[in-house]
Every structure is written in structure tokens, then in C-alpha cells.
Chain A
Amino acid sequence: MRVPMSWLRELVALPASLTAREVAAGLVRLGLEVERVEEIGAGLTGPLVVGQVAGFEELAGQKKPIRWCQVDVGEERPRGIICGATNFATGDRVVVALPGAVLPGGFAITARRTYGYVSDGMICSARELGLGDDHTGILVLGECADPGADALAELELPDAVLDIAVTPDRGYCLSMRGIAREVAHSLDLPFADPVERLAVERLAVERLAVERTAAAGADPVLPPGWPVRIDDPIGCDRFTAWTLAGLDPSATTPVWMRRRLLLSGMRPISLTVDVTNYVMLELGQPMHAFDRASLTGEIVVRRAVSGEMIKTLDGVTRALDGDDLLVSDVAGPIALAGTMGGASTEIGPFTTDIVLEAAHWSPPTVMRMVRRHKLPSEAARRFERDVDSEVALPALRRAAALLAELGGATDAGLTVVGSPYPRPHIALAAGQPGRLAGRVIPPAAVMRRLTEVGCQVEGEYIFTVVPPSWRPDLADPADLVEEVLRLEGYDAIEAALPAAPAGRGLTARQRAGRAVGRALAAAGYVEVINYPFVAEQRYDDLGLPADDPRRTAMRLANPLSDQQPLLRTTLLPGLLEALARNVGRGNRDLALFETGLVFRPGPEFVPAPRVGVGGRPDPAELAALDRALPAQPRRVAVVLCGQREPTGWWGPGRPAGWADAVQAARTVAGASRVPVSVRADPHAPWHPGRSAAIFVAAGTDAERLVGHAGELHPGVIAAFDLPPRTCAMELDLELLGVGDVPVAPTVSAFPPALLDVAVVVDDAVPAGEVEAALRAGAGELLESVRLFDRYADPDRLGPGRMSLAYALRFRAVDRTLTVQEASQAAQSAVAEAARRTGAVQRA
């Protein structure tokens, strides 16, 4: 809502010294968001005068029309001025900047030679004066002061405009009337509601109509207007219409009104349209004018029937929905209620008779129509937020009076049908606002504040409050409390801390989540936080098989980019893109990680049920709501490329490899205190020979696959444009879980017995299995086992054979082991390895 200060001053008696910024600060204190204060005509200095076009000559041979004008500026002789606009005629009054004037933006006016003439000043457009964006031509003043008069005074310059973002609950602030009320509250000034003034005023157009009726021998009342019927009282509880005849189609909108429209961000169009827009800005009631000559029979407010069509003012023919609310006549739909008028009854340049509509439309109905037909408008914006249910008639009278005065309309007839819904009676304990604020607010203050905003308040300890018709947002006691506290000022509220019950800190899972991040950062990984939006193509790029569950992704109905409509089912696409982005910026040795949710819809679609909000839903409803959600497990993933350890003065570096990725899985598992084991498992998007599956509780009934790690498939690396040998790991943290509270080991003070064993196995045997067998066979004296050497030597070991050398460390808790005990344990370890893997001990 754009609020010109000059207009505001007409509605509230502001002290002359009060600046726009001070007014803005007061509104901010009351909760209106003033986004900016625009100074209009700042830096504008005269001489700026009213001029009258005495005549002009169109210059020939120019690329665009150029006029050489003689303009009377109240001097002895007219001045000659060159002008590039054509929207004026001889006799029009215009704004002339004379040499010496400076226009906004530091544009100094001088007498200058152009198109072969000396242009002795400039005829100004609205935009050049800072009055809005209209630059389709120069500003034609219409009726105004005589040539030579100060145009700055005529145009009320300088001025200021407050640009206010109105929250959805305060529809009444989409009018000058509503803003003026808030300004008065914020400054503790009296407020005279223009609607109340209208209620007692007898308008000239009404007097004339009544007199004419009486003269014709009928009752001396306002004659009835166009017949109207409401068939849908849910969608419309009040419809008023004024019939006007004898409008002068050539009448123009006076400059004072055009000026206000321009400053409010609206474009002047024609007198009728301008007046309806002006009254909408002033009182908040959108209106629509039908061409009376095009109407056929009774106007009916009803829902559309399927198959009906309407051609709207924008020239689009629209198929109507059964939920659309229509204004129709006998011939069919003539307007989408509160949203847009129809083309068949549009007023034109020769319209003299109109039916002016002002109605109260149901906000949700209008909102659905706007959404369905994608037709946002200034009118709909007000109806969506709800308009004062009692303002239709006063607004209509105001508009009729303006059209009679400015457009010469004479005839009048009034139709008023429907009755606004009764307003709620809200019971409010007088102490409630104070109780919620945590301080004492006397009942008298509560009553005063509520009365200020327009409520009727009765009672002493329990107030019965009837909110004003323009505040449909006041429905509950809590809404009234807010009004009281807002006007009392939030600054008055003290600060105190509530006594929370003793807390338990983070849960084990939350602590483990942090530990995982810290462990990966300590291991050299840098965290990234990617968007969860994925292109469909990425699942092909990952080389996922056609039936891979990761291809079953949720799809956004309104993605930001049509290229990325899916939600991620794996963290890898985002991470790989982040990796490629870093590589593109010259970061070559990279290790990234991310933790976040992935979205895995179930096999069948389950819509969420419609559940009420009148109380706690029953368990079945809550369960049904949750069933509609996809599984959303938290995952962790890493990607890495380049050098894992750099080359340096210490010697050569080491490239990142599959083993780093697998180790990252162990790092995560370690941070979660969950032992994992690793097995080869060809799995997309990894290199089939360099892909490890990570298991928890391997070999038990509770065994579960928690993720994969290794080097990526070369095809995936090519598709994502990654450095060769890029590696990755991804684990499901929900499946991984959190390990038990660790139990302290018994630390023996006796000396260890150290024994090395080397075995030869078929090179297809995983080292992990050999180690597991050694552990199993060694028994409880084994303290640790570590692979310290691994090599193939076809000459000595035979082809396809591999030597694995292990350091075994034995120790007992209660004695020093004898050599015999230790070598016996080592032998049984080797025996178990031989049994399980065919390992042969080397001498």
C-alpha cells in the first residue's frame, strides 16, 4: 500500500512539522511494515508554472513526432517550447519548467537550441516530476489555476509516499482510511472516520434523484436501481449497485485525483475507472462498473455451472469451474466476482449509463478464483484479505457523488440486497491482556484500547466485545489481547526467564550426529550443504539399474527449475556437483562430506487425509498423516579426489583412493560406536571391482547393509565431469544407529608376546576374511592383529597367490605368557585361517 503524505494529512490532522519518517516510525511501532519512505519531487526547484498551449506546429521530417509549441505562461508573449509528446491539444493546461528550474535527479532546465528552434523551457511528464512511472506523454492538468501560477503548489510538491507491506490479517490497511486510523493511534491523535461522515451526509446526486422522483408523483425516496438477486449467500452477503445515467463520456479526471492515483501506483485510465480506483484506495472497497446498455435483465450472483464460459476484460475466454462465483445477467456471466469483469459489459469511450457494483465477496472464494484463473489484481488482493462488510454502500455513495460532480451523471437508482453476516461477540476477561503480558494492565486501559480500534465493549470484569466491521481478523480473545498489547506498546513488557524443568541435554543420536561431523572434519573432509533438488538425468548419470529404488523419487509440483524437479534419494548427485564446482574453480585436492535427509517414497501413493484442527486428532488420523510421508532417513556421504596427502618436502604424496572412502565409512561408524565390516559388492554408482558394502552386525541375524564405499565407476566420473578415480561413500545413519555405552577393557600390565605370521592365500580371498579367521582362531589371549605386509610374487608364491603378513600380539590379564602359550595360540589362529580360507603358512 502506497500512502501519499498529502492525502494522509487530509484524513488525519497531523502537526505540520511532522515528517514522513516520523509517521513511518510510529506505524512501525504499531506493527505496520513501512518498507521505505519515498521523497517525491526531492531536489525539485522552480520556476515551475502552469502553462496553456496557445498553439503548435508539427515539425516535418523527424524520426518521431516533434511539436514546436507556443505556450502561455502568464507573460506578455507565449514562450516557444519543443515537445516530443502528442497527448495534448491547443488550450490544454500543462506544467512548464522554465529555464533555471531543476527537476528531480539534478536535471537543470536551460533555454537550448534544438530542432532548429530555441526551446525556452520544458513541458513536463508525470515521471519527470517524480509523480509515478507514467511517461506515455506529458501531464495535462485539466481544470486548474491560470497560466503563470506556481505549478508546485498546484501539484502539492514536494510530497512523500510511505510504502507499506500489509500483513494478511490487516486487510483494512489496504485503504487510506485504515492507514489513517493506525497513524492516529500511533500518534495519539483523534480520528474522524470518513465513512461516518458519509453516513450523515446527504449527497447532491441523491437529493436530485429524490426530488425528481417526488416531482413525478412517487414517494420522495431514492428510486430503485437495477434488479439484483443473490443466489449464493455464502459467496456474497451484500451486493449494492448504483445506477447512473447521463455521464459525460468526455469528462476527464481532475489532476488532483490523477496525482493521487499516480502516487499510489495506479495508472489513470478514464473518469469512471479512476473514480472506482480512487474510492478503492480511499475506503478499501473495490468496485466494478457495468455498461448499463449492455446489461440484459436481472443481475444474479451465483456459482458457475460446468461448461459455462466468460470472456474477461483482458480478452481471455475462460472455462469456468463449478466453484467460480459469478455476477451474471440473463445473457450469461458478466463478471468473475471480485476478480475481473467480463468483456460483454465493459464500459467504453461513449458509455453514458452505468451500473456501479460494490459487493462483499467471500475471501476464500475470491482467493480460489484468483489461483484457478491466475488473475491477481488490486481488487482481488483486498477481497482475499476481506473487505469491511459494511463499507460497500458508503463507498458506492462516495463514488456516485464523485461521478455526479466530475462527470455530470444525473440519474440515480440504488439497489441494496443481502445482509452482512452478524459480527461475533467475544468474551474477554479484563485481566487477560495483562496476564499474557506479565504485567498489570487496568481494565479501563483495556477498554480504552479496544474502543480505539473500533470495538464496542461492554462489561466490567468479563468484557463482551464486538469488533468493528472492518476487523474480521478479530475473532478470538487472543486477537483482542494482541490489539491491547500492540497499542500499549511492546516496550512496556518486562523481561523474565521461565523456570524450565531440568533438562537431559542432547539425545545419544543427536550427540552421535555431531560426533560424525566432527570426526569427518578431523579426517580432512569439508562439509557442504546442498539443495535436495535433482535432475532426473542424474539417476542415469549414476548408472542406476532400471529397477533401482533410488530411481523412485518424489517430484515437486512447482520446482524452481524444470531441470531439477525431483527430490534426492541419495546424497551423491549434490555432492558430486559440489565437487565438480570446486574443481572448476581450481580446487583440485578435495574431500567433501554432507549429512542430510534423502526422500524415499513407498511403493504406493497414500494421500494425506483431511484432518480437522478443533482438537487433537485421534491416533488413527495421526498415523494416516504420517503414512502419507515418504521415508526420510538421514544419511552421510563423502566424495574425494586428487591428492589425499600432498607431495611435499617430506616426499611424494598419495592420491585419494577407494580405501580412503572405505575408511571414511569406518570413521563414521567409529564416531557412532558401531562396529562395521566390509565386503566386496559391485553396486552402482561405484566401480564394480572397487565397491565395498558396509555391514553392521555381519554374520548375525541382525546383519544389515548400511551403505557403500569405494571408487566411482568411470562412466559416472565421465557423466559428472569429475577427476579420474574420484571416490565416494554413502551411509544411512538411521540404519547405522548408535552403539551401546562403551564398556571399559581390562588393561593387562603383563608383558605382551609378539608373533608374526605370514600366510599365502589365493588372491581372490579377501584379507578381511583371513583376519576374521585369525581372530577367531587365536582365542582370547589375542590382544590385536594387524596386517603389515601384502605382496604377490608369482615366481616364489605361484601365480594368483598372495602373501599376507600379520603381526599378532598376545597378552594375558593375569600372568606373563610363555613362548609356548603364545605360539600355540598363533598356530590355532593360522589353522582357523587355513580352514576358512585355505591359507598356507609360510616358513
Chain B
Amino acid sequence: MSGPNDPAEVAAPELLDAAGREAEKAFAEAADLAELAAVRAAHLGDRSPVLLARRAIGGLPAEVRSAAGRRVNEALATIQAWYEARHAELTRLRDSVALRAEAVDVTLPWDRRPVGARHPLTTVMERMTDVFVAMGYDVAEGPEVETEWHNFDALNFKRDHPARSMMDTFFLEPESAGLVLRTHTSPVQVRAMLERGAPPIYVVCPGKVFRTDELDATHTPVFHQIEGLVVDEGITMAHLKGTLDHLAEVMFGAGLRARWRPSYFPFTEPSAEFDVECFACRGGSVGNPDRPCRTCRSEGWIEWGGCGMVNPRVLTACGIDAERYSGFAFGMGVERAVQFRHGVDDMRDLVEGDVRFTLPFGSEV
């Protein structure tokens, strides 16, 4: 038998082999990180067989030294790798036990911070406004208590004409003040033309308007409109049609037909009311009692708003050369848009402010 310093014995393959096997076994038997730490010194510590062998290599004859060194290093690297693999495995094991112990019931509610919502009239109005902003329009605003001149006179509503009394106007006291609650957002168009002066003018005017209708399922004395006005050289009814088609497509989807019916507004000439094909049934409910449509009441069309070419008298009253410029204007009720876009049957729901009605609409529609 040879002693430890025997060059033949130092780093003998059998010896390294045995050390490796013992290390592997010891590491594998370590049940947790603490046991692994406890057996580490015996196999990778200073007094471990492999490190003792490495220290002894220096005393070997030159001709065997490098081969022995290589063997020892390989053995050491292997044991080290076994150790690390086991260490990683035991760490994972420890962690998974700990995390399992921290498990919670993820289905518990957390409605601790109450949520709010914006009114669908606000968000739908913004949505419609944004369609025009994307086309390059400015957003114009104006007062809600308005002069009769802005609300009527400048828009070619003559005094003592039935068109003026048809508007169901709220007048302010004293009546000599000449003030009304605006009956439409058109006075904002007048203001836009007066403020901007020279065309091109592309504005959209969203806002609140007032008529003396009692509140019921289909009427409210305070409602919202969105109006558009374009004044430029060479503006035609074709431009009006294209613009309204675009809005309908954005709001209700592509491929819906539009229908125009001639109508009368003092501030546009020619004037039309425009309907959009019902986006819900696409006309399929007409004369088809088996498939009634709530959205269009089985009429196939949704009345959507009024429009027309700006009456040259209005341009003139606002200081715009009606010979050189033409324009179009259109307007629609936001309540209607909300009602048929979101299936609101009763106008009162939009008015009363019940949080149960508004909350599902969230902050954007």
C-alpha cells in the first residue's frame, strides 16, 4: 500500500473516481439546503480528498504532474457541478414550498376604490367631435344664454315668422333684453364666422341646447347637439354628403345607406333631413313582424339630423362674401345618437343621473 505522497497514489484515477462517487451520493442524499451545506466541506472543502490530491500534485515528478493535474481538475469541476445542480434543485424545492404556503384566494373582490364614469352624452359627443377634429375641423364653443340676434336674426329667422315661434324658445326676463336660452348650437356657427372672418372655416360645435318641451320618454327640455359648418370656395352638396357619410361610417359601421329628405331650415337653402340605414337590422325588419327591430322601430331608417347649404343671407349677415364662398352646415342630436347606439329606450335615463345607469358606460365609449 502506498502513502499519500506516493506519486503513483496521488490523483490516482480510482481514488478520484471514488471521491466523486461519494460526493455525488452525499449531495443527492442531502434533503435540504442545510444538509447540503453540512456535507459540502467533506467533498469540496480543504480537507476533501480531491483538494488534498490537488495540493499533493506539486510534489509529483514533472513527467506525471500535468496529467495528474488535469485529472484532479476535471474531478473537482465535476463535483462542483454536482453540488451546484443539487443546490439549485434544493433552492427550487424550498421556494416552491414557501410560495405554496403563501397562496391566496385570488377570486376575492377588491372593490375598495370605487370606480366612476363619465356620462355617455359626454363621451359620445366627444367621439363624434373627434371624427371632425380628425378631418381638420376646429371645435368651437359659445354661450348658452344667447342674444336673439345670434340665435335667430343672423340665421335668417325673421321676426314674426312661424319658423321662429316653432323653435319653442325659452326667453329670459325682461323680454326686452333680447336674450334666449339657445335653441340650437347654430349661433356658435355665427360666432365662429364672425370671429374667424375669412374662410376657409371648418368648425364643429358640440353643446347643450334648450327647448320648452316637457321631459318624457322621448323629449327633454335640455339636450345636446353637434353641428358642423364649412365655408370655403367651391363647397357643394356633394361635400356635405361625403362628410355625413363619413361620420355615419365611423359611428355605425361601413356600408350603410343614407337617405336625404328635402326639408326647411331658415339658415340653409337647400335643406335636408338625413336618415341612416338602421345599423342593427339594415332594413331587414321592415314589413317583417317576425324580426322586429328596437333600434329603428322596424322602419329601417334612423332619423339622424338636419343639414343643408348655408343660406347666403347667413353668410352675408356674418360678413362673408356669399358670391365667392359657399358652405354647408349640419346638425344632429347627441341624445338620439346615444339612444340608438346604446339602446337607451327612455330619455329620462339620460337626464336623471342615476349612477346605476351611467356606471356601465365607464370613461370612454
CB distance A482 to B269 under 8 Å?
yes
CB distance B116 to A524 under 8 Å?
yes
CB distance B145 to A632 under 8 Å?
yes
Which residues of A are found within 8 Å of B158, using beta-carbon distances?
364
Counting CB contacts under 8 A, is B147 at the interface?
A: yes
CB distance B214 to A560 under 8 Å?
yes
CB distance A438 to B114 under 8 Å?
no
CB distance B242 to A496 under 8 Å?
yes
User: Can you name the residue of chain A whose Cβ is closest to the Cβ of B158?
Assistant: A364
CB distance B165 to A507 under 8 Å?
no
A606 to B355, CA, bound (A): 41
CB distance B114 to A645 under 8 Å?
yes
A30 to B351, CA, bound (A): 36
> Shortest beta-carbon distance, A628 to chain B, in Å?
6
CB distance A596 to B208 under 8 Å?
yes
Q: Mark B133-148, 1 if CB is under 8 A from A, else 0.
A: 1111111010111111
Segment among B6-14, B16-24, B64-72, B257-265 that sits at the interface with chain A: B257-265
A613 to B176, CA, bound (A): 19
CB distance B172 to A629 under 8 Å?
no
Which residues of A are found within 8 Å of B172, using beta-carbon distances?
554-557, 567
Which residue, of A363, A524, A529, A532, has the highest number of chain B Cβ atoms within 10 A?
Answer: A529
Q: Mark A1-39, 1 if CB is under 8 A from B, else 0.
A: 000000000000000000000000000111101000000
Segment among A132-140, A150-158, A267-275, A514-522 that sits at the interface with chain B: A514-522
The answer, among A385, A510, A589, for a CB contact under 8 Å with B114, is A589
Q: A437-B236, A558-B170, A582-B355 are contacts. A605–B163 as well, Cβ < 8 Å? A: no
The answer, among B108, B115, B138, B162, for a CB contact under 8 Å with A168, is B162
Counting CB contacts under 8 A, is A592 at the interface?
A: yes
Q: Mark A578-602, 1 if CB is under 8 A from B, else 0.
A: 1001100101011111001101000
CB distance B272 to A490 under 8 Å?
yes
Counting CB contacts under 8 A, is B93 at the interface?
A: no
> Shortest beta-carbon distance, B126 to chain A, in Å?
7
CB distance A482 to B119 under 8 Å?
no
Counting CB contacts under 8 A, is B174 at the interface?
A: yes
Counting CB contacts under 8 A, is B324 at the interface?
A: no
CB distance B173 to A502 under 8 Å?
no
User: Can you name the residue of chain A whose Cβ is closest to the Cβ of B141?
Assistant: A510
Counting CB contacts under 8 A, is A368 at the interface?
A: yes
Counting CB contacts under 8 A, is A523 at the interface?
A: yes
CB distance B317 to A368 under 8 Å?
no
A661 to B122, CA, bound (A): 23
Which residues of B are found within 8 Å of A486, using beta-carbon distances?
262, 270
> Shortest beta-carbon distance, A555 to chain B, in Å?
4
CB distance A649 to B236 under 8 Å?
no
> Shortest beta-carbon distance, A659 to chain B, in Å?
16
Which residues of B are found within 8 Å of A375, using beta-carbon distances?
none
> Shortest beta-carbon distance, A544 to chain B, in Å?
21
Which residues of A are found within 8 Å of B143, using beta-carbon distances?
597, 629, 632
The answer, among B108, B236, B262, for a CB contact under 8 Å with A31, is B262
CB distance A167 to B264 under 8 Å?
yes
Counting CB contacts under 8 A, is A349 at the interface?
A: no
Q: Mark B151-180, 1 if CB is under 8 A from A, else 0.
A: 001101011111101100011111111110
Q: A168-B166, A494-B238 are contacts. A591–B116 as well, Cβ < 8 Å? A: yes
Counting CB contacts under 8 A, is B302 at the interface?
A: no
CB distance A498 to B138 under 8 Å?
no
Which residues of B are found within 8 Å of A439, using beta-carbon distances?
238
A436 to B327, CA, bound (A): 9
A585 to B119, CA, bound (A): 19
Segment among B27-35, B47-55, B307-315 that sits at the interface with chain A: B307-315
Which residues of B are found within 8 Å of A732, using beta-carbon distances?
none
CB distance A482 to B358 under 8 Å?
no
Q: Mark A477-509, 1 if CB is under 8 A from B, else 0.
A: 111011001100011011111101111111100
Counting CB contacts under 8 A, is B230 at the interface?
A: yes
CB distance A493 to B238 under 8 Å?
yes
User: Can you name the residue of chain B whose Cβ is closest to the Cβ of A611?
Assistant: B149
CB distance B212 to A560 under 8 Å?
yes
The answer, among A526, A596, A615, for a CB contact under 8 Å with B359, is A526
CB distance B356 to A485 under 8 Å?
no
A167 to B166, CA, bound (A): 10
CB distance A500 to B353 under 8 Å?
no
Counting CB contacts under 8 A, is B150 at the interface?
A: yes
Counting CB contacts under 8 A, is B337 at the interface?
A: no
Which residues, 586 to 645 on A, are CB-close (under 8 Å) to B? 587, 589-593, 596-597, 599, 605-611, 613-616, 622, 625-626, 628-630, 632, 644-645
User: Can you name the residue of chain B whose Cβ is closest to the Cβ of A530?
Assistant: B353
Q: A481-B270, A527-B119, A628-B179 are contacts. A168–B161 as well, Cβ < 8 Å? A: yes
Range of interface residues on A (Cβ < 8 Å): 35 or more
Which residues of A are found within 8 Å of B119, using beta-carbon distances?
527-529
Counting CB contacts under 8 A, is B239 at the interface?
A: yes
Secondary structure class of chain B's binding surface, majority of residues? mixed
User: Can you name the residue of chain B whose Cβ is closest to the Cβ of A605?
Assistant: B177
A608 to B356, CA, bound (A): 44
User: Can you name the residue of chain B whose Cβ is closest to the Cβ of A501?
Assistant: B200
User: Can you name the residue of chain B whose Cβ is closest to the Cβ of A638?
Assistant: B116
Which residues of B are found within 8 Å of A520, using beta-carbon distances?
116
Which residues of A are found within 8 Å of B173, using beta-carbon distances?
554-557
Q: A560-B214, A581-B353, A613-B154 are contacts. A30–B262 as well, Cβ < 8 Å? A: yes
> Shortest beta-carbon distance, B252 to chain A, in Å?
16
Counting CB contacts under 8 A, is A371 at the interface?
A: yes
User: Can you name the residue of chain A whose Cβ is closest to the Cβ of B314?
Assistant: A613
Counting CB contacts under 8 A, is A821 at the interface?
A: no
> Shortest beta-carbon distance, A190 to chain B, in Å?
22
User: Can you name the residue of chain A whose Cβ is closest to the Cβ of B223?
Assistant: A529
User: Can you name the residue of chain A whose Cβ is closest to the Cβ of B119?
Assistant: A527
> Shortest beta-carbon distance, B284 to chain A, in Å?
19
Counting CB contacts under 8 A, is B235 at the interface?
A: yes
Which residues of A are found within 8 Å of B144, using beta-carbon distances?
532, 597, 599, 632
Which residues of A are found within 8 Å of B214, using beta-carbon distances?
560
Counting CB contacts under 8 A, is B111 at the interface?
A: yes
Which residues of B are found within 8 Å of A578, using beta-carbon distances?
352-353
CB distance A497 to B246 under 8 Å?
yes
CB distance A510 to B139 under 8 Å?
yes
Counting CB contacts under 8 A, is A65 at the interface?
A: no
CB distance B115 to A613 under 8 Å?
no
Q: A367-B165, A498-B232, A616-B317 are contacts. A527–B146 as well, Cβ < 8 Å? A: no
Which residues of A are found within 8 Å of B316, using beta-carbon distances?
613-615
Counting CB contacts under 8 A, is A763 at the interface?
A: no
User: Can you name the residue of chain A whose Cβ is closest to the Cβ of B224?
Assistant: A529
A628 to B208, CA, bound (A): 20
CB distance B312 to A478 under 8 Å?
yes
The answer, among B126, B236, B271, for a CB contact under 8 Å with A436, is B236
CB distance A646 to B111 under 8 Å?
yes
Counting CB contacts under 8 A, is A650 at the interface?
A: yes
> Shortest beta-carbon distance, B128 to chain A, in Å?
14
Which residues of A are found within 8 Å of B166, using beta-carbon distances?
168
Counting CB contacts under 8 A, is A290 at the interface?
A: no
Counting CB contacts under 8 A, is B286 at the interface?
A: no
CB distance B237 to A556 under 8 Å?
no
CB distance A531 to B222 under 8 Å?
yes
CB distance A482 to B270 under 8 Å?
yes
CB distance B112 to A644 under 8 Å?
no
CB distance B161 to A364 under 8 Å?
yes
Which residue, of B147, B271, B353, has the highest number of chain A Cβ atoms within 10 A?
Answer: B353
> Shortest beta-carbon distance, B233 to chain A, in Å?
10
Q: Would you mind naming 20 contact pairs between A and B with Cβ atoms under 8 Å apart? A: A169-B163, A437-B236, A438-B237, A438-B238, A439-B238, A476-B311, A477-B312, A501-B200, A504-B138, A507-B139, A510-B141, A556-B181, A557-B172, A587-B355, A611-B149, A615-B319, A625-B147, A625-B149, A632-B143, A632-B144
* A-B complex: 3 closest residue pairs judged by Cβ atoms: A616-B319, A31-B262, A438-B236
Q: Given A491-B260, A524-B113, A607-B178, 16 more contacts at CB 8 Å?
A: A31-B261, A365-B160, A476-B313, A486-B270, A497-B239, A510-B139, A522-B116, A526-B116, A527-B116, A529-B353, A578-B352, A582-B353, A590-B355, A597-B144, A608-B147, A609-B178
